[in-house]
Structure formats: structure tokens, C-alpha cells
Amino acid sequence: MPELISHEPATGAELWRGSIGDADAEVAVARASWPEWAAKPVTFRIETLRRYANVVRAKADAFADLIARETGKPLWEAKTEVASVIAKVDISVAAYSERTGQRRMEADAGSRMALRHKPHGALAVLGPYNFPAHLPNGHIVPALIAGNAVIFKPSEKTPASGAMLIECLREAGVPDGCARLLIGGPSEGKALAAHPDIDGLLFTGSAHTGLALNRQFASHPEKILALEMGGNNPIIVWDTPDLYAAAVLVVQSAFTSAGQRCTAARRLIVDEALYQPLMTELGKIVDRLIVGAPHDNPAPFMGPVIDNDTADLLTESFLELMMRGGKPIRHLERPQPNLPFLHPGILDVTGMNDRPDIELFGPILQVVRALDFDEAIAEANNTRYGLSASLISQTPDLYNRFWANARAGIVNWNKPTNGASSGAPFGGIGWSGNHRPSAYYAADYCAYPVVSNEADSARASIGIGLRDYEVE
């Protein structure tokens, strides 16, 4: 039986291997199992998911260690991911009650109007590699609370973390048939997404794949499709006296998780007058960043990117930006050619013609100088994406203008572009999503509303439009 093997990015060592699964078999089991799970009271499902949170809590250290080794991210960051997995349960319970709970509505005398929600059925979940537990968990937990069964295909680059997530769900008492794991690569993912017996797909990943899924599902309006895609996110620095703090926020936005976040800042837009002093502060911080393996001491700020192929692609992309006219401020460096560690690269692309509007998923920051704030906002919106945007400024009026005009689902002020709260909706516009935000609003796409007009007995009459009875 063919196997999938996972390797540690930081060392190249084999971490895990498992048999490649079959989409038909996993979907069949989920379809057969979900009606019984859906028939359970929601309180039963909630308590089961609360036990799941306790199972993850008991295994937090081992889970964080696995995530760190499989993704390459620092151990401290992997621990925050596990904490988010645990916290997601309470957040999802609150969201289910608020957004998809039962309620009574006004109705005519002698009848009542009820609003309730039903699960879709068997939902496929495709997860990414950058947050291999937290992001799919953000789909899986609300889907299970709503009464769905889930077939989860983790990224082929992080299957071990996905397997542990499913193990924790089953250990907590989620029926095996309602928490299915599909191990495999792109072909298994395509088979799952195209399967006629799934009732919907919850996806987190690249815009390229999301667009293909959107086209595929266009002829299936009966199926729910929630797309959480990437971003070419801007961060503007304007009219701020503390350039060190501004530089810190830029570094956190652009280079946390080695730039492998969909909310990472890809473009820094700066007032021409602040350009040189800000680049000086930014350079000082970047020079001090520790790039290392997950368990290094002292702890690194960022680890490697996910694999050597990704490191090669990012290196080629940096060179391509230079060839198109980008002026390097900090070269993207790869100290070990056989491992995917990258030191952040920064380019001034102000004068570049035909800048590519793509998501470079790694530690590359493009800088654009602007002469006035209207130009800065126009540059921020100069993208097909629309996930996250941030303004660093001490002027409230500028933020009001920025908030009103920025085309993004997340608009921040004096905060990084990343680090979104699970207690709020998470999603974007354009090529960043299909108007089905996740996180707190995930409840919206995990169940559908059913409105019922009800009365205890049948009473009816027709008062107009009938002929009189004929008299014999």
C-alpha cells in the first residue's frame, strides 16, 4: 500500500509515515454515520467537544512538539497553536448559540414561528500546512457541534499533525464515522472535493486552488463551499513619531511564522519622508532576528519555510523581483542550501513596472514609497486580494479614512496585519475568500436555517374567490 512520508523541515529527518487513504471509502463511512450524530441533542455534542478540548490539553506538550517538528515553526509558536485549538471549543459553543441557535419569532394568533438550524451532512475539510491543527480545527469543531460528519484531508506536508487532531477527537468520544482522516496528496484532495456524496467543502489554502474549487462548485449550488484563501496584504506607515515601534509591527506582520501566514504583510507602504529612517530601524531589527530550528536555545523568532522546494521558489521569486526593477534593501539569504532556512528579504519596488499581484508565501517584504495618503490607500487597494490591512499612524483622522476606503476583511490600526482573534469573524474579499468568513462566523456555514410556521391544529378558510354553493 502506498505511503505518505512527512519530514522535519529543520533537519530533513523522517518524522512520520502513513498509508494513503481512499476518498470513496471515507466519504461512505461519514455519510452512513452522520444521521445518528445529528440526532443527538446539541448538548451531547457540545459536551463531547469539551472532552476533546481536555484531551488536547492533556497532550498539549506532545502536540506542540509534533507541530513544531513537522512545520519547522518555533516551539513557542507551536504552543500558541495548541492553545488556540483548545480555546476554539468554547468559542464555537458561544458562536453556535448566538448565530445558529433556536428562537421564536412573531406570528399570527393561534400559531407560532420557529427558527432552527440543520446540519448539512458530510462535510469535507481541506487543511493547510502553516497551521496544521488550528486552521482545520476552526472548521471541524463548529461543523461537529452543528451535527455534521467531517472528512478531513490534511496537507500532504503536515499529515502527522492532522492525524493527531483526529485521534484526539475520537479519544474524546466523537464517533469514528464522524471524524474521518484522509491521508494523501493532491490527487486524494481532488477526489474528495469532487466526490458526489459530500454535502460541502470547507477549504483553507491558496487562491489558485480556491479559484479552481469555486469553478468546480459553480454547478453544484446545493453544496456549501467556504473558501479561506490568501492575501497580498498591505501595511502603511504614516505620520508616526515612534519609528522603532512601527518597525517592530512591520517585522511581526511580515516575518512571523517565516512569513507563512495568509495575513502576513507582503507590502509595506511608507510616506516618502519616513522612508529612510524607517528602513534604518527595520534593518536593525531584521539583523537581530534569530532564524533557527524549533527547539533551539535561545528560541528563534522564526524557523524554516516548509520545504526545500518552497525555499527554491521564494529565492527565484526574489531574484525575479530584482530583475523587474526591485532594489534589494536586505537580500533573501539561504545559509544552508540543503535546508529551507531563509533570512528575510526586503526590496524597494516603488519604480517597478507591472508588479506581480501574487502571494509570496514566505519572508519577503516589498516596500512602496508614497507621496501622499491618498496614493498610499490606492496602493494598499492595488490588489485582487482583500484579506488584511493595517495602518501605523498616530492620527485618528487618517485611520478613519483608511478604514472607510481599505478593501479588506480585517482592517487594523497600530497593530500587525496578523494575529486575528478566533472570537471574531475571519475572512476577506476579492481573491481572499467567497464571503463566508470563518472563526466566530464558521457557525454560519456549518448549518442552514429552517423557518417553521406552526400551529397545534389545522384551521383554514378561503374568504374570497369561491362560487356560492349551488342550491338544488
Cα 235 from Cα 80, distance rounded (Å): 24
For 275-298, write each residue's pLDDT tens digit.
999 999 999 999 999 999 999 999
Tally the C-alpha atoms within 13 A of residue 239's C-alpha that lie toward its C-beta: 13
How much is the pLDDT for 186?
97
Section 403-409 average pLDDT:
98
Report DSSP letters for 22-80, one per residue: -HHHHHHHHHHHHHHHHHS-HHHHHHHHHHHHHHHHHTHHHHHHHHHHHH---HHHHHH
Section 113-135 average pLDDT:
97
Section 63-88 average pLDDT:
98
- Map grid coordinates 383554514 to a residue: 460
Cα 136 from Cα 423, distance rounded (Å): 16
The yes-or-no verdict on residue 110 having pLDDT over 80 is no
Contacts of 462 (CB under 8 A, 6+ apart): none
For 414-460, write each residue's pLDDT tens digit.
999 999 999 999 999 999 999 999 999 999 999 999 999 988 888 88
How much is the pLDDT for 418?
97
In the CATH hierarchy, which fold is given to the domain comprising 3-229+433-454?
Aldehyde Dehydrogenase; Chain A, domain 1 (3.40.605)
Class of the domain covering 233-413: alpha beta
* Secondary structure (3-state) at 411: strand
For 304-359, write each residue's pLDDT tens digit.
999 999 999 999 999 999 999 999 999 999 999 999 999 999 999 998 988 999 99
Instruction: List every span in the chain annotated with CATH 3.40.309.10.
Output: 233-413
Section 209-220 average pLDDT:
96
Instruction: List every span in the chain annotated with CATH 3.40.605.10.
Output: 3-229+433-454
The yes-or-no verdict on residue 472 having pLDDT over 70 is no
Q: 398 and 196 in contact (C-beta within 8 Å)?
A: no
Section 365-388 average pLDDT:
98
For 139-177, write each residue's pLDDT tens digit.
999 999 999 999 999 999 999 999 999 999 999 999 999
Beta strands 410-413; 388-392: pairing state: parallel
Peptide bond into 298 cis (omega under 30): yes
For 184-196, write each residue's pLDDT tens digit.
999 999 999 999 9
Give the residue numbers annotated as catalytic, written as ranges: 228, 262
Tally the C-alpha atoms within 13 A of residue 350's C-alpha that lie toward its C-beta: 15
Section 233-258 average pLDDT:
98
Q: Would the pTM of this model clear 0.85, i.e. be above it?
A: yes
How much is the pLDDT for 469?
83
